[in-house]
């Protein structure tokens, strides 16, 4: 190795150690009663007292249930080398929380998460409400998820809880399961609808092995309207439609199970059921929707 090569390696190692130290300090700022440190890291839910206060060499799961208050911890995680090893990432809140809620907003956290790459990530949960008792969920706004998904090329399971934007179609070659829910009808706490443009970009995204999908786009009462000029049409759902590219079977060709909930234009569901790729796959479609 040349001296320059040795020097670069030395500086790289020094930076890595500083990043780990910074993350370690942020971890220890979380109260011991709601943190668990190890290859599986949990923050924001009650944990048995553990003597382990030092980060491991590898983190496989990073679960942060601190709501928007987890921003500093997540920012330190994103700057650490652990983003290269993590296989499951779960960001949200929990029924253990004692925080007071207005509108739940994860947009800044998602923006921060988008600054790193996650080559080994298999499962992503955004906006999740971790239930630890007999209760119901609160959902909010996730913001633009386009870049963060592009930075997770080996993702296999995607769970989105709350309103989000997808600004253009993406490609996830290993995605097998997709679950989206915008609202809990018992609490009515939500971030509003997703737009037809976001749905179009989702449907036109190339997911060649996707086989299980749940699109629960129903909202009891929208807390936030997604765009200027939206007018209530005396329905609790948007009038969604499917894209021609999706209906052609080119984007989700291996779809096996599909659950739909929300408002669709009249005839859209029938159009979907008659698609050649749906018949070829013998796709099971369950629908709970309002159509006009």
Alpha carbon of 231 to those of 21, 164, 237, 239, 265: distances in Å? 51, 20, 12, 12, 16
Range 110-146 burial, b when 16+ CB lie within 10 A, else e = bebbbebebebbbbbbbbbbbeeeeeebbbbbbbebb
User: What are the backbone angles phi and psi of residue 158, rounded to the nearest 5°?
Assistant: -125, 125
Give the three-state DSSP class for 78: helix
111 contact partners, CB below 8 Å, separation of at least 6? 143, 144
Q: How far apart are CA 212 and CA 176, in angstroms?
A: 7
Q: Please give the DSSP secondary-structure letter assigned to residue 268.
A: H
* C-alpha span between 266 and 278 (Å, rounded): 19
pLDDT of residue 140: 85
How many angstroms separate the CA atoms of 203 and 207, rounded? Answer: 9
> Phi, psi at residue 75, to the nearest 5°?
-65, -40
Q: How would you class 42 by CB atoms within 10 Å of its CB: exposed for 0-12, middle for 13-18, buried for 19 or more? A: buried
pTM for the full model? Answer: 0.87
193 close to 233: Cβ distance less than 8 angstroms: no
Predicted pLDDT of residue 69: 85
pLDDT tens for each residue of the chain, 292 residues long:
664 553 344 334 444 678 888 999 999 999 888 899 999 999 988 766 556 788 999 999 999 999 888 899 999 999 999 999 999 999 998 766 555 444 588 999 999 999 999 999 999 999 987 745 445 567 889 999 999 999 999 999 999 999 999 999 999 999 999 999 998 765 666 678 899 999 999 999 999 999 999 999 988 766 554 444 444 443 445 789 999 999 999 999 999 999 999 889 999 999 999 999 999 999 999 998 554 4
From CA 43, how far away is CA 130, in angstroms rounded?
11
The domains of the chain are located at 19-291
CA distance 197 to 135: 33
Question: CB neighbours of 190 closer than 8 A, spacing ≥ 6?
Answer: 139, 140, 162, 163, 182, 183, 184, 219, 220, 222, 223, 224
């Amino acid at each position: 190795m040349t001296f320059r090569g040795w020097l670069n390696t030395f500086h790289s190692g020094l930076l890595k150690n500083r990043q780990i130290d910074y993350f370690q300090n942020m971890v220890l700022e979380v109260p011991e009663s709601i943190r668990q440190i190890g290859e599986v890291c949990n923050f924001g839910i009650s944990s048995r007292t553990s003597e382990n206060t030092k980060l491991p060499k590898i983190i496989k799961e990073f679960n942060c249930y601190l709501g928007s208050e987890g921003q500093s911890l997540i920012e330190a995680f994103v700057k650490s080398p652990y983003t290269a090893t993590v296989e499951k990432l779960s960001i949200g809140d929990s029924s253990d929380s004692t925080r007071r809620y207005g509108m739940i907003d994860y947009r800044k956290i998602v923006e921060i998460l988008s600054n790193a790459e996650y080559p080994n990530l298999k499962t992503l949960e955004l906006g999740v409400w971790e239930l630890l008792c007999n209760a119901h969920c609160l959902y909010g706004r996730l913001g633009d998820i386009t870049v963060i998904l592009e930075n997770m090329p080996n993702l296999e399971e995607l769970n989105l809880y709350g309103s989000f934007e997808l600004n253009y179609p993406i490609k996830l070659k290993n995605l097998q399961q997709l679950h989206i829910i915008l609202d809990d009808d018992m609490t009515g706490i939500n971030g509003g609808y997703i737009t037809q443009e976001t749905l179009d970009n989702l449907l036109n995204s190339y997911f060649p092995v996707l086989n299980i999908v749940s699109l629960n786009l129903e909202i009891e009462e929208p807390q936030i309207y997604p765009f200027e000029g939206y007018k209530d049409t005396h329905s609790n759902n948007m009038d969604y439609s499917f894209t021609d590219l999706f209906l052609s079977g080119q984007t989700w060709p291996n779809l096996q199970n599909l659950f739909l909930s929300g408002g669709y234009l009249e005839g859209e569901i029938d159009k979907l059921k008659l698609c050649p790729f749906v018949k070829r796959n013998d796709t099971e479609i369950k629908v709970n929707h309002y159509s006009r």
